[in-house]
Amino acid sequence: MKMQLGEIATAVSAQNETTMWTEIEVSSVAFDSRQLTPGALFVPLAGERDGHEFIEQAMANGAVATFWKADRGPAPTDYPVLVVDDPLTALQELSRHYLLKINPKVVAITGSNGKTTTKDMVAAILATRFNVTKTQDNFNNEIGVPVTILAMEPNTEILVIELGMDRPGQLDFLSKLVSPDLAIITMIGEAHIEFFGTRGKIADAKMEITHGLKEDGLFVFDGDEPLLQERATAVEQRQMTFGRQTADEMVATEVQTTETATTFKTNQWPDQLFELPMIGDYNVNNALAALCVAQAYRISASDAAQAFLDMNLTKNRAEWVDGAAGERILSDVYNSNPTAVKEVMAAFSQVDVAGTRRVVLGDMLELGAQADALHASLASAFDPQLIQAVYLVGPHMKALYDELLKQYPETALHLYQTDELATLTAQLQTDMTSADAVLIKGSHGIHLETVLAELKA
């Protein structure tokens, strides 16, 4: 991003006179005064503390200008200030302006599971022919999406952007902000069911990604999900489905999995073997969605296959790491919901292990009134012959603990509260041998990454 302050002032409808600062060049935006780079425009957002309190620090750290909320009173006059109604709205309007200016094609991705992995796959495939910018980390909300847009290099030809949601209307806004040329829904699960009540309402909210889809755009979705099939009939744009049924346009065939890789073919390219350098049959559907994009943008099957092998995956998504005791750790500590747990459990249960398979699960958050029942339902993913030791963290995991007592001896089960992670870690370090494998998965709010950090070599 490179823009003069005068252009920014016009884009955000700044309320004050900015003539004296018109030619100041801005090279980035930042809302954290500690992490900005010189040349940044500081955006003081409201959080636990008001971002306006950090403007002086931002300027000292190299910011060249800042937004200022009009209702805070007179703006400072000793450095460049753009007075706006609301800094967040101004950030969003600036990103809209910059997106129109660069004018890349936009591929937008959402879904209850798999959207980050799919984003990485899509970006890797498209990068074989185009200059691509993709969402970094979890920058997928009303703040992160504009920041991602404004981080685009001027030569960006395709923007691959992840759109998250936790309430109705959020994807409507984000979709209309980015106006995608291609929109993907990976799947419908139970994530955020606390805010929606039913999977049907989650599907309604996910379908909002099509609200900003261009008239000549393409809608790609899981064709094996009846909730999406029903709702897709109201979408007028072109559609393409992926899945495991013959009625889908992009269908997986000959799927084979190991603990480090998954291979498959498709009906569209029956002679091409695709290999994913990751565990789990469930990742095949994410790859199928990415291959729909490959087909839409005329990427060859061989280029797409190589892209899968070369792709850079966002961290903390089902990756193997070595433990200090020589054990293997399957880390999946970024997020969690019932569908995701069952999928990764199925894959982990088939891993060859000379010693003991151990599973550490943290509470799945945002499940509302159904939380205990959904935690208890995970019992179906456990086979005592395949998973010999279980460590559960959080108040809702008590429901799963009680259910597992019907299958396991009490000595194989361990239950901890969220403030007992150090005790959990010590128990694992005592129990673990070099022949073991352990799966660690939980919602980010449980902070199992701290356990992982202590166990890693």
**How far apart are alpha carbons 262 and 256 in whole angstroms?**
6
Indicate if 384 and 325 belong to the same structural domain.
yes
Rg from Cα positions in the chain: 24
In this structure, are 27 and 173 located in the same domain? no
Tokens 């890789």 belong to: 261
Final residue before a domain boundary, out of 255, 287, 310:
310
Q: Which residues of the chain register pLDDT less than 70?
A: 191-195, 315-317, 457
Same structural domain, 301 and 343: no
96 domain-assigned: no
User: Are 287 and 331 in a shared domain?
Assistant: no
pLDDT value of residue 170: 96
> Is residue 434 situated within a structural domain?
yes
CATH number at residue 79: 3.40.1390.10
Is 237 contained in some domain? Answer: yes
If asked whether residues 294 and 382 sit together in one domain, one would say no
CATH code: domain of residue 190: 3.40.1190.10
Run of H or E residues at 82: strand 81-84
List, as residue ranges, the binding site for ATP: 111-117
Mark whether 153 and 243 lie in a shared domain: yes
The answer to whether 313 touches 114, Cβ cutoff 8 Å, is no
* Prediction pTM value: 0.89
pLDDT tens per residue across span 212-270: 999 999 999 999 999 999 999 999 999 999 999 999 999 999 999 988 899 999 999 99
Is 273 in the same domain as 185? yes
Residues 332 and 435 in one domain: yes
> 57 with 139, same domain?
no
Residue 444, in any domain of the structure = yes
Domain of residue 447, residue span: 319-455
Annotated binding residues, written as ranges, equal 111-117
Domain count, the chain: 3
The separation between CA 375 and the C-alpha centre of its own chain, rounded to angstroms, equals 22
Last residue of a domain, one of 275, 310, 345: 310
Q: Of how many residues is the chain composed? A: 457
Of 271, 316, 307, which Cα lies nearest the Cα of 287? 307
Q: Retrieve residue 99's tokens.
A: 């997106």
Nearest to 96 by CA among 43, 175, 149, 55: 149
Task: Kindly report the CATH number assigned to the domain that includes residue 338.
Answer: 3.90.190.20
Residues 298 and 326 placed together within one structural domain of the fold: no
284 belongs to a structural domain: yes
Are residues 241 and 166 part of one domain?
yes
372/394 same-domain check: yes
Q: Kindly write down the DSSP assignment for every residue of 353-405, as one continuous string.
A: -SS-EEEEEEPPPS-GGGHHHHHHGGGGG--TTT--EEEEESSTHHHHHHHHT
Contact 353, 347 (CB under 8 A): no
Q: Please tell me the predicted confidence (pLDDT) of residue 312.
A: 86
Q: Are 276 and 258 in contact (CB under 8 A)?
A: no
